Structure 1
Amino acid sequence: MDIKLANCCGNCDHHVKGQLCNVHEIVTAETQACQAYEFRAVLSRESDCLKCSKFQTEHCAHPSKASEGMMCTVFYPRIMA
């Protein structure tokens, strides 16, 4: 069995600032996908809810479960400046 991440805007390198597709220049949902999908390699053992930009916001998909050491399919890394 192959284990794969979901091919969706939330995991796409073209999906910037949490909502904008820089290929199609439109606002997209993280659960959408298109033929321009390009995997964004951001997940690692060090990634968890504490490093997610949605943690403790109204955009968190699982606010009652989100915690250190946990991560879900809508993980969106914080942008480090």
Structure 2
Amino acid sequence: MSIRMGNSCVNCDNLMGDDTCKVHAVKVSTSYTCDSFEMKAALKDDPNCVSCARYEGPSFSNSQNVAPGMLCSQWAPQNAQA
């Protein structure tokens, strides 16, 4: 059996903060899904120096003070997709 990301309202971009679907205007829960499902965009979940787009590049200013696993306020994901 394969493992997949759930196609539920919790992962849908159309879910509003009060658990209402902005397409259908109804209150939903984790067990709901529909044909208008739009996956939420997510950033890479491993933010550190090695996964940063600036790491060892021309805009990288702290080459003497970094190590894998460290994080700074300038982190930019290498592969962000929307």
Q: TM-score, normalised to structure 2's length?
A: 0.47
Structure number with greater Rg is 2
